[in-house]
Amino acid sequence: AQRVTQPEKLLSVFKGAPVELKCNYSYSGSPELFWYVQYSRQRLQLLLRHISRESIKGFTADLNKGETSFHLKKPFAQEEDSAMYYCAPHRSGSARQLTFGSGTQLTVLP
Amino acid sequence: DAGVIQSPRHEVTEMGQEVTLRCKPISGHDYLFWYRQTMMRGLELLIYFNNNVPIDDSGMPEDRFSAKMPNASFSTLKIQPSEPRDSAVYFCASSFYAGPPGELFFGEGSRLTVL
């Protein structure tokens, strides 16, 4: 069965500290992976996708096929990074729907 | 474009009442999704439509839930009768077939409280 796991529901770090939000998936084939973010009082929005190998707002995410992980990382957290983060694998060639992980609420403390 | 528009933003109702949530997708988008967000289970896909046709409703929790998309610019999610455990934030999202896969555009959500 296809599954995505975000093991931490809550994560707190201090401003300036590194942050890593974990995501593990169990998907057949080679999924495409996405991170979505929901800031307070804002819409859920796409943060980044692994295929683009991009860095958005200082965040990067590396797909590790051996560990089947797609952890989201930032070397120096900022208070404005406080938000809910969702990992979402998408099986290539499948329909357009996304299955989201259970989410991690990140709080960056001053 | 104002993006995906949902109404109402907040709904408080009593157990047993009918609840109707509404969604207007982004013009030109041909996929529409209904998700439910709770602290315990995160974001769950309830149902999605392609070109107004329901494709997968396996996430709809019970027969009390129903969704329709009578045209390309409007969809409803109905709960009848509502129960306290239905309390959640319900999101509508849309996407375009020719757009980048995995890019969904979400509405602001409808926060439902069933007393």
pLDDT band at A41 (very low <50, low <70, confident <90, very high): confident
Give me the mean pLDDT over the A28-53 stretch: 85
Q: Among A107, A41, A20, A105, which Cα is nearest to B40's?
A: A105
pLDDT of residue A72: 94
User: Chain A: nearest CA to B4, how far in angstroms?
Assistant: 10
Tokens of A68: 């089947």
Give me the mean pLDDT over the B77-103 stretch: 91
* Residue of A34, A86, A97 lying closest to B42 (CB–CB): A86
pLDDT of residue A1: 61
pLDDT band at B111 (very low <50, low <70, confident <90, very high): very high
- Locate the chain B residue with the closest alpha carbon to A92: B101
Beta bridge partner(s), residue A86? A36
**Cross-chain Cβ contact B50/A103 below 8 Å:** no
Beta carbons of A4 and A66 less than 8 angstroms apart: no
Beta bridge partner(s), residue A12? A107
Percent of chain A's residues with pLDDT above 70? 92
State the DSSP string of A63-90.
EETTTTEEEEEESS--GGG-EEEEEEEE
Percent of chain B's residues with pLDDT above 70? 99
pLDDT of residue B67: 97
Residues 6+ apart with CB under 8 A from B81: B15, B16, B17, B18, B64
pLDDT at residue A97 tops 90: no
Segment among A18-32, B9-23, B74-88 with least mean pLDDT? A18-32
* Residue of B42, B50, B109 lying closest to A100 (CB–CB): B42
pLDDT at residue A23 tops 70: yes
Give me the mean pLDDT over the B85-91 stretch: 96
pLDDT at residue A31 tops 80: no
pLDDT of residue A63: 83
pLDDT at residue B26 tops 80: yes
> pLDDT higher for A46 or B97?
A46
Contacts of B4 in chain A (CB under 8 A): 43
**Is A65 an interface residue toward B (CB < 8 Å)?**
no
Give me the mean pLDDT over the A75-92 stretch: 91
User: Chain B: nearest CA to A69, how far in angstroms?
Assistant: 18
Q: How far apart are CA A17 and CA A76, in angstroms?
A: 5
Q: How far apart are CA B69 and CA B48, in angstroms?
A: 10
Give me the mean pLDDT over the A8-14 stretch: 95
pLDDT band at A99 (very low <50, low <70, confident <90, very high): confident
Q: How far apart are CA B16 and CA B83, in angstroms?
A: 6
CB proximity under 8 Å: A 74-103 to B: 86, 88, 90, 92, 95-103
Residue-averaged pLDDT of chain A: 88
Using CA atoms in the order B99, A97, A52, B109, what is the torsion angle rounded to 10 degrees?
A: 90
Sheet strand arrangement including B65-71: B5-7, B19-24, B74-79, B65-71
